[in-house]
Amino acid sequence: MLVFLQHNVAHLGIVTGLCLAEAATTHLPLFLSGFLLLTAVAASIATALAEILGGALAISMLTGMPVIPAALFFFDPFGCYGNCTGADYVGAHVGEGSGTIVCRSAFFAGIASTMTAGMAGGTICAGIFGEVYNIKDYHSWHGVALTYVLAVVVICFMTDPFKGLVYSQIVLSVQLPLTVFTQIYLTSSPKVMGVYANTKLQRTGLSLIALIVTILNIFLLIDVLS
């Protein structure tokens, strides 16, 4: 379902030449675009937090050392107490050597996703000021730095990394519907898209997908909080 939403927001960029943040700033009232984009920045920070934690856990599994981003996580996730690593644990259950491959894959995936989260934060901050993302630009690189710094600051106050991952997903589940409905509104507006605005059928289909995604996120939120 999310593929259709990604295609839809790409449609916005192709037609208008604007990213979602720029389009929201340009075509929505200031108070509304400001609120939406600030929540999007929060989602970028939550994403960066989750990916940094994921990469740290991968390092812990590979080395057997405690997870210490910002000298924080002194724990052994597999109860080995220094006698084995998470990679050994995975390898013992899946096959020799496979544990190292899995953990290294998780580490590099964490790096890639952390970079994406930072770029997202930079893009949103640039969009708030009606600018295109450019890492050499003041607003863009400050957005990237803000995303990473606040994520690490939050991590420094955590005592349980797994709960940190859960809380980050709560933030994302609350914010995602706001982004989804915003992009559908913009791509369905003739004022924004001209003759390339979504048809009634497309709008109905996208709205149905957005509703399903929202309901699923509500159920996730209720399940976590309960």
Give the tens place of pLDDT for each residue, 108-138: 777 888 888 999 999 999 999 989 999 889 9
Sign of the CA dihedral with 125 first, then 128, 129, and 130 last: positive
Other CB atoms within 10 A of residue 26 CB: 14
Least confident span in 58-62, 166-170, 177-181, 209-213? 58-62
Q: What percent of the chain has pLDDT over 70?
A: 81
Q: What angle do CA 212, 176, 122 make, to 5 degrees?
A: 155
Record the pTM: 0.79
Give the tens place of pLDDT for each residue, 140-199: 999 999 999 999 888 888 777 777 888 888 888 889 899 999 999 999 999 999 999 999
Length in residues, the chain: 226
Q: Which residue has the higher pLDDT, 91 or 177?
A: 177
Residue 66 banded pLDDT, cuts 50, 70, 90: low
For the chain, the maximum distance between any two Cα atoms, rounded to a whole number of angstroms, is 65
Cβ pair 11, 110 in contact under 8 A: no
